[in-house]
Amino acid sequence: MKMKELEQETGIGRETIRFYIREGLLPEPVRPKRNVAAYGPQHVARLKLIRKLQQERFLPLNIIKTIVDAEAENPATGFEAFIGLENSVGPLLAEPLNLAPQKIEDVSTQSNVTLEDIRKLAAIGFVEIDAREDGEWLSRRNARLVELIGASRTAGFTEEGASYTVEDFRIYAQVMEIVAHHEVSVFYRNLGSRIGSEAGAALAARGIRIVNEMMPLLHMEKLIREMARVSARGRLDIENDES
């Protein structure tokens, strides 16, 4: 089809279409002759997807480009339906934890963890600090993580008493990042084309609750088994621990 037909089919003007092509959001048309451009069904589908993501998801073009690029590589996933899903899942998981953010100074005072150590925790990926015009803030989840660091020190896991430092918590951030990446990738790939965002959010919330109960049990089981293994062998894997 010609540009005029593409405009009529999608309701998007030619200048916008040309802009999308320049920015890589839309593939180049087929050019059988000089000054002749032919557009196909893939252009119509891509433009409708872009418009849907703008109007229904209010996403910026850089995020939309990531989505349409992924769709071009694996169009069967349909995972664009889940973009922004975290905004729907969060409130479903809010209870009993209040999600109101807190200033980093208040968290430091309440948890007895210094600002320096909170920033070290952020540097290793254990928490995320939100920088705003009115200061630095932590989401309630991140604030609770800092509080638990403080609780671990109260329990005796200190640098002075047991040689525990902030760096010893890096492994938890690394492991959970791998787990989270796997969970989201599998969830979006398997369900992105099958259910809508509302049903997806409800299903994700149920799954998160199940896994949140599963993980502590699995952790305890692995810890006990590892302690038994070390006891039976009578020595530690020092080289593996240091790596």
Considering the domain boundaries, does residue 82 fall inside one? no
Q: Assess whether 93 and 183 both reside in one domain.
A: yes
Q: Assess whether 128 and 160 both reside in one domain.
A: yes
Q: Are 189 and 76 in contact (CB under 8 A)?
A: no
Q: Say how many domains are in the chain.
A: 2
Considering the domain boundaries, does residue 191 fall inside one? yes
Q: Assess whether 93 and 131 both reside in one domain.
A: yes
Q: Assess whether 28 and 109 both reside in one domain.
A: no
Q: In the prediction, which pLDDT does 62 show?
A: 79
Q: Are 166 and 120 in contact (CB under 8 A)?
A: yes
Considering the domain boundaries, does residue 94 fall inside one? yes
Bridge partners, residue 77, by sequence:
none
CA atoms of 212 and 47, how far apart (whole Å): 39
CA atoms of 62 and 97, how far apart (whole Å): 33
The whole model's pTM is what?
0.64
User: DSSP characters for 190-201?
Assistant: HHTTTS-HHHHH
Q: Assess whether 129 and 160 both reside in one domain.
A: yes
Q: Which two tokens stand for residue 150?
A: 């403080």
Q: Looking at 20, 42, 75, which one is the last position of a domain?
A: 75
Considering the domain boundaries, does residue 237 fall inside one? yes
Token look-up 């993501």 returns 53
| Full domain range(s) for residue 55 | 3-75
Considering the domain boundaries, does residue 155 fall inside one? yes
Q: Assess whether 50 and 159 both reside in one domain.
A: no
Q: Assess whether 128 and 180 both reside in one domain.
A: yes
Q: In the prediction, which pLDDT does 243 show?
A: 44
Q: Assess whether 123 and 54 both reside in one domain.
A: no
CA atoms of 149 and 136, how far apart (whole Å): 19
Q: Assess whether 125 and 230 both reside in one domain.
A: yes
Q: Assess whether 38 and 126 both reside in one domain.
A: no
Q: In the prediction, which pLDDT does 98 show?
A: 57
Q: Assess whether 95 and 173 both reside in one domain.
A: yes
CA atoms of 107 and 125, how far apart (whole Å): 17
Q: How far is CA 109 from the centre of its chain?
A: 29
Q: Are 83 and 57 in contact (CB under 8 A)?
A: yes
Q: Looking at 75, 106, 126, which one is the last position of a domain?
A: 75
Q: Which residues of the chain have pLDDT under 50?
A: 76, 242-243
Considering the domain boundaries, does residue 23 fall inside one? yes
User: DSSP characters for 209-239?
Assistant: HHHHHHHHHHHHHHHHHHHHHHHHHTS--HH
Domain at 49, CATH number: 1.10.1660.10
Considering the domain boundaries, does residue 147 fall inside one? yes
Considering the domain boundaries, does residue 81 fall inside one? no
CA atoms of 94 and 100, how far apart (whole Å): 10
**Could you give the count of Cα atoms lying within 13 Å of 230 in the half-sphere of its Cβ?**
11
Q: Which two tokens stand for residue 70?
A: 């992924």
Q: Which two tokens stand for residue 46?
A: 């891509």
Q: Assess whether 59 and 92 both reside in one domain.
A: no
Bridge partners, residue 36, by sequence:
33
Q: Looking at 75, 100, 132, which one is the last position of a domain?
A: 75
